[in-house]
Amino acid sequence: MEYDFNWLVSLGIDINAGEKYTGGQDRYVSALQRFYKAYEGNCEKIEKFLDAGDYDSYKIIVHSLKSNALMIGAVSLGKSFEMLEKAAAGKDVYTIEDNNGIVLENYKKLIVGLTPIGEMKRVMAADEITADEAQRTADELLEALDEFDDELSTKLVKKLSGYPFRLTQREKLNEAASMIEDFMYEEAADLIKEIYDTIE
């Protein structure tokens, strides 16, 4: 199916970057829909972590938002979340207090602009797999790696790549695939365990 994404430009979205990151139109729409759907939960987490003064957890959530914003081509917003991430890493409370509200307001504006995407019927790419299927595949992959089965492991990594991971996790999955080719099964398993918890 062909989509008209031109209206996204007015929201400050780099469509070409988004399609390049996600790997095609269906995957791009799927990423946009997930970005839209996660908004309220992300805002609740940010508020909770700031109220508790938990800047380590705050850093993790804004890092995730940075990656997700860049993945859909919302470059400016991604850079804003990166600024908050660096502030959290340095425990720079003043920068966070001065900028968190502004960044979240821009985040909200983008989400409101993406309402037509959020209200569309759920889109999945032909090779995209659900979270449940991804978890089952990851479990099977860990078993295959434990048994040094390179053929099955390679097949399962390819299947697992159908899950719409964020950029950081996708890079780790690609790294795990390379390790399997080099018979580094234990190292590959460690990476799969790292990304397992991001399947949701």
Q: What is the pLDDT of residues 134-160, one digit of tens each?
A: 999 999 999 999 998 888 999 999 899
Distance of CA 117 to the CA centre of its chain: 17
- Reading phi first (left if > 0) and then psi (alpha if -120 to 50, else beta), residue 160 is in alpha
pLDDT band with cut points at 50, 70 and 90 for residue 106: very high
For the chain, the average pLDDT equals 90
Q: Mean pLDDT, to the nearest integer, of 157-169?
A: 84
Q: Cα–Cα distance between 137 and 16 in angstroms, integer? A: 31
Helical segments of the chain, H only = 15-22, 25-37, 39-52, 55-71, 75-89, 93-113, 115-118, 131-146, 150-160, 167-181, 185-196
Q: Please give the pLDDT value at position 167.
A: 73
Q: How far is CA 150 from CA 12, 90, 153, 180, 184, in A?
A: 44, 42, 5, 6, 10
Report the percentage of the chain scoring pLDDT > 90: 56
Domain coordinates in residue numbering, the chain:
6-118, 131-194
Tokens, residue 61: 């959530």
Domain topology for 6-118: Four Helix Bundle (Hemerythrin (Met), subunit A) (1.20.120)
DSSP string of 134-172, one letter each residue? HHHHHHHHHHHHHTT-HHHHHHHHHHHTTS---HHHHHH
pLDDT in tens, 24-67: 788 888 889 989 999 999 999 999 999 999 999 999 999 989 98
Q: Is residue 105 pLDDT above 70, yes or no?
A: yes
Q: What is the DSSP letter of 121?
A: P
Tell me the per-residue pLDDT of 66-95, one tens digit each, with 9 for 90 and over: 988 998 999 999 999 999 999 999 999 999
Confidence category of residue 2, pLDDT binned at 50, 70, 90: low
pLDDT of residue 92: 96
Residue 114: what residue type?
A: L
